[in-house]
């Protein structure tokens, strides 16, 4: 699919034990249906042509011959379809019997993958019939001349001939449970997607265990994992199979067919993201000498139809998870601040409170930190510093917040002092330019720093991740502090954290926090309008924060380029922003991100709470004079 997405599916066909012709018919029906849906990789369960529960019938030549005949029928029906298909069957080779997965595409058998680890415990007695995969690579004859020959190895990697980065490795059921799974070597040899043809019977708790295994395997191997489980058509003499199919991507479950649902599990996996992660993590070491590569054509140029693109990637979807995540983030911030206060033996914490979201969150974190240290909240010195643009609403919110949280509140109006400063430097106060705005921000920071010196305190930074990404801060103004608690919290997440604290604390605190949450985002550096309302609206100037955070996530966390990012944004924000608007703010994002790196290269210490951080000491090593030309050229030409 477009932009290195791959449409995959895992299916558990209705089958009859020891009836290959019937099973082939069911498999072909699914292949035909999935081809119409644009599926590029389709996986069926272990021994699906024969049925997993054949027992001693596996030793019968009649069954083995019937499975080969059925395989050839399935292979023939893949001709004309752009798809890579895996089906399971028993195969006799060199005097031994193997439990195999056949990789087929375009009317050809690309290769046979034998199972490496055979269970021989409880209800599973595979070692009674099958031999484990031999080492190395060979060719075997399946009958029917040259077209019936196939490569035979547990080390095969199936690649798309036009997109070699889209490569697929295969293992079978117990291979996943083994300490040294074949998928580890397959991933190291280039397989970005691992398929597993499985026949895992259903028991209490087993579904949960599968999830843990697949999450760990796909996460540590930085791969997608497509797991196809045997379904209800298997024998129930001693056990039952439920068709619990799953698709994982780097530790995240993208799709699941619930036990006994009979549903086909479908998803679109992001191979481009997996490649980006593998480049980023040097602990993932490739082994290009391992494995035998087979090329086929199975990647199409279809659009995404299944994958939901999250417009708020920094914010958890599930309400219960969101509440738990908010508590964890607030704890991370508070414990980090408490550690810094203890380390330098600060007597006070000094913070500027504007009545906006960021300073509100920082003040809530400071209160938590002081509670952890069992210090009096009155040693939190909170300052409002009303200036030319301060509205009555935000001033009232700041005053109310300081009161209900029980911190020491002070007010230092700055307008007269800033006007005097304008006289000193010869600036006309009627000119509302960067000088007019930044002088206010720098004077406020000077006040806080001097109070900290006077009281033996620590200035708490309030700026968030989104502002750092765009450089939306005044150099040596709000850009500077002694410890930045919000530095890796994006703007779209800030409001959720504040709301979580509102719900936790309740009462009057909640009422005040709701007022803050309802206030428009603004630095309030320009005078209010004639009605006294905020005139300077941040998102009108730098773009909606939901777009900024979306672009930031895909740029730094996913490694996506401009074209892919815009493609995904169109799907995430369909009906809310048109393409022209999305492109406008995408170009703006790249321009601002690159040009403002000089501010990020000298930011104060701050706690990392998520997977994206812009600290020059830990996460983003980027020169201040790096060129944005490549990204801007691609974005502008979209």
Active site residues: 46, 115, 173
Q: Report residue 38 as tokens.
A: 């644009």
Rounded to an integer, what distance in angstroms lies between the CA atom of residue 431 and that of residue 440? 14
Q: Report residue 253 as tokens.
A: 């479950």
Rounded to an integer, what distance in angstroms lies between the CA atom of residue 172 and that of residue 176? 7
Residues 6 or more apart whose CB falls under 8 angstroms from that of 433 comprise none
Pairing mode, strands 41-43 and 5-10: parallel
User: Could you tell me which of 84, 182, 85, 80 has the C-alpha nearest to residue 132?
Assistant: 182
Rounded to an integer, what distance in angstroms lies between the CA atom of residue 13 and that of residue 541? 55
DSSP string, 372-436: HTT--GGGEEEEE---TT--HHHHHHHHHHHHHHT-EEEE---HHHHHHHHHHHT--TT--SHHH
Which residues are registered as beta bridge partners of 101?
88, 113
Three-class secondary structure assignment of 524-542: CCCCCCCCCCCCCCHHHHH
User: Could you tell me which of 253, 270, 251, 317 has the C-alpha nearest to residue 492?
Assistant: 317
Backbone angles phi, psi at 228, to 5 degrees: -110, 120
Residues 6 or more apart whose CB falls under 8 angstroms from that of 205 comprise none
Q: Report residue 315 as tokens.
A: 């914010």
- CB burial class (10 A; 0-12, 13-18, 19+) of residue 208? exposed
Rounded to an integer, what distance in angstroms lies between the CA atom of residue 5 and that of residue 196? 19
Q: Which residues of 485-517 are buried (b: 16+ CB within 10 A; e: fewer)?
A: bbbbbbbbbbbbbbbbbbeebeeebbebbebbb
Residues 6 or more apart whose CB falls under 8 angstroms from that of 324 comprise none
Question: H helices within 108-236, ranges in order?
Answer: 174-177, 182-188, 206-220
Overall residue count recorded for the chain in this entry: 638
User: Could you tell me which of 118, 142, 121 has the C-alpha nearest to residue 130?
Assistant: 118
Residues 6 or more apart whose CB falls under 8 angstroms from that of 93 comprise 114, 140, 152
Classify 450 in phi/psi space as left (phi over 0), alpha (psi -120 to 50) or beta.
alpha
Q: How far apart are the first and last CA of the chain?
A: 19
CA dist list (Å): 399 to 377, 382, 457, 464: 15, 10, 21, 22
Q: How many helices (H) and strands (E) does the chain have?
A: 20, 22
Residue 572 has what DSSP assignment? H
């Amino acid at each position: 699919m477009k932009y290195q997405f791959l449409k995959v599916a895992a299916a558990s066909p209705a089958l009859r034990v020891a009836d290959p012709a019937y099973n082939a018919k069911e498999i072909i029906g699914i292949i035909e249906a999935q081809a119409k849906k644009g599926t590029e990789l389709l996986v069926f369960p272990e021994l699906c042509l024969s049925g997993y529960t054949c027992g001693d019938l596996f030793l019968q030549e009649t069954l083995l011959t019937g499975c080969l005949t059925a395989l050839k029928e399935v292979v023939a029906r893949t001709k004309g379809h752009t798809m890579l298909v895996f089906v399971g069957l028993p195969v006799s080779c060199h005097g031994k019997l193997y439990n195999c997965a056949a990789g087929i595409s375009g009317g050809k058998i690309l290769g046979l993958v034998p199972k490496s680890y055979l269970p021989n415990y409880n209800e599973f007695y595979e070692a009674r019939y099958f031999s484990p995969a031999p080492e190395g690579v060979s060719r075997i004859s399946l009958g029917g001349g040259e077209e019936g020959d196939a490569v035979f190895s547990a080390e095969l990697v199936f690649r798309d001939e036009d997109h070699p980065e889209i490569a697929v490795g295969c293992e079978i059921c117990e291979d996943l449970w083994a300490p040294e799974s074949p998928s580890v070597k397959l991933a190291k040899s280039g397989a970005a997607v691992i398929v597993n043809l499985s026949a895992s019977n259903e028991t209490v708790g087993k579904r949960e265990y599968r999830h843990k295994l697949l999450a760990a395997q796909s996460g540590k191997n930085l791969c997608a994992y497509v797991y196809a489980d045997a379904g209800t058509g298997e024998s129930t003499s001693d056990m039952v199979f439920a068709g619990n199919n799953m698709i994982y991507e780097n530790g995240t479950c993208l799709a699941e067919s619930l036990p006994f649902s009979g549903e086909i599990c479908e998803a679109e996996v992001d191979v481009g993201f997996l490649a980006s992660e593998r480049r980023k993590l040097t602990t993932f070491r490739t082994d290009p000498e391992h494995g035998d590569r087979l090329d086929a054509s199975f990647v199409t140029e279809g659009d995404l139809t299944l994958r939901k693109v999250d417009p708020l990637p920094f914010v958890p979807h599930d309400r219960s998870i969101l509440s738990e995540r908010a508590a964890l983030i607030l704890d991370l911030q508070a414990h980090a601040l408490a550690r810094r206060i203890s380390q330098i033996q600060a007597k006070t914490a000094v913070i500027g409170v504007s009545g906006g979201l960021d300073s509100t969150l920082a003040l809530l974190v400071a209160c938590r930190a002081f509670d952890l240290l069992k210090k009096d909240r009155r040693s939190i010195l909170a300052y409002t510093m009303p200036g030319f643009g301060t509205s009555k609403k935000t001033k009232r919110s700041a005053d109310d917040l300081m009161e209900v949280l029980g911190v020491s509140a002070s007010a230092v109006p700055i307008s007269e002092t800033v006007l005097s400063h304008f006289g000193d430097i010869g600036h006309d106060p009627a000119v509302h330019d960067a000088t007019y705005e930044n002088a206010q921000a720098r004077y406020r920071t000077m006040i806080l720093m001097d109070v900290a010196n006077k009281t033996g305190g620590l200035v708490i930074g309030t700026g968030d991740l989104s502002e750092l990404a765009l450089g939306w801060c005044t150099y040596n103004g709000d850009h500077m502090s002694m410890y930045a608690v919000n530095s890796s919290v994006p703007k779209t997440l800030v409001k959720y954290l504040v709301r979580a604290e509102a719900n936790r604390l309740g009462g009057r605190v909640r009422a005040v926090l709701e007022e803050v949450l309802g206030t428009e985002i603004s630095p309030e550096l320009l005078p209010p309008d004639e009605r006294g309302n905020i005139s300077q609206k941040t998102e009108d100037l730098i773009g909606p924060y939901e777009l900024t955070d979306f672009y930031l996530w895909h740029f730094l966390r996913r490694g996506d380029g401009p074209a892919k990012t815009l493609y995904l944004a169109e799907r995430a924000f369909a009906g809310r922003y048109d393409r022209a608007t999305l492109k406008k703010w995408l170009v703006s994002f790249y321009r601002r991100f690159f040009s403002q790196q000089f501010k990020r290269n000298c930011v104060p210490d701050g706690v990392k709470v998520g997977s994206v951080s812009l600290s020059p000491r830990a996460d983003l090593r980027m020169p201040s004079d790096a060129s944005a030309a490549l990204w801007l050229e691609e974005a502008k030409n979209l």
